Amino acid sequence: MAPAALFRSVVIDCPDPRALARFYAGVAGGTPEERDPDWVVLQVPGGPRLAFQGAPGLTPPEWPRSDRNAQQFHLDFDAGSTWEEVDAAHARVLALGARPLDLDDRERKDFMVYADPAGHPFCLCRVAGA
């Protein structure tokens, strides 16, 4: 069956689109392209297009709460097949401004959860068996 439409972007609301686009460029690569002060696009090399839309009054999600201001979505990033690679990615996202939300049981879960500078959750995942 032919699709009704083709996937274009994941759009993320945030108070500062330029800053959040720079953060995700540091995480996943690419160069942010500012369309206007409230709209910045990042084409991730070999991956999706992320767009960042200005939302000055945004209240970030409260991970892992679901009773109010639920996370709505999160992004997953493959950080490598070894824990050494994941640890290097961990250090890099912290240096970029990420905040740890859940680093427990990483060996069992194969992922760790962070908040980006605007408060959106994202995960660094270990690629098992790669």
Task: Give me the number of domains the chain comprises.
Answer: 2
Residue 17 belongs to domain spanning: 8-55
**pLDDT of the residue at 106:** 83
- pTM for this predicted structure: 0.88
Burial class of residue 115 in the structure, from the number of CB atoms within 10 Å of its CB (0-12 exposed, 13-18 middle, 19+ buried) = buried
What CATH number does the domain containing 43 carry? 3.30.720.120
pLDDT in tens for each of the 130 residues of the chain? Answer: 988 788 889 999 999 999 999 999 999 999 999 989 899 999 999 989 999 999 998 888 887 776 666 656 789 999 999 999 999 999 999 999 999 999 998 888 999 999 999 999 999 999 976 5
Q: Evaluate whether residue 120 is within a structural domain.
A: yes
**Together in a domain, 78 and 126:** yes
Q: Evaluate whether residue 100 is within a structural domain.
A: yes
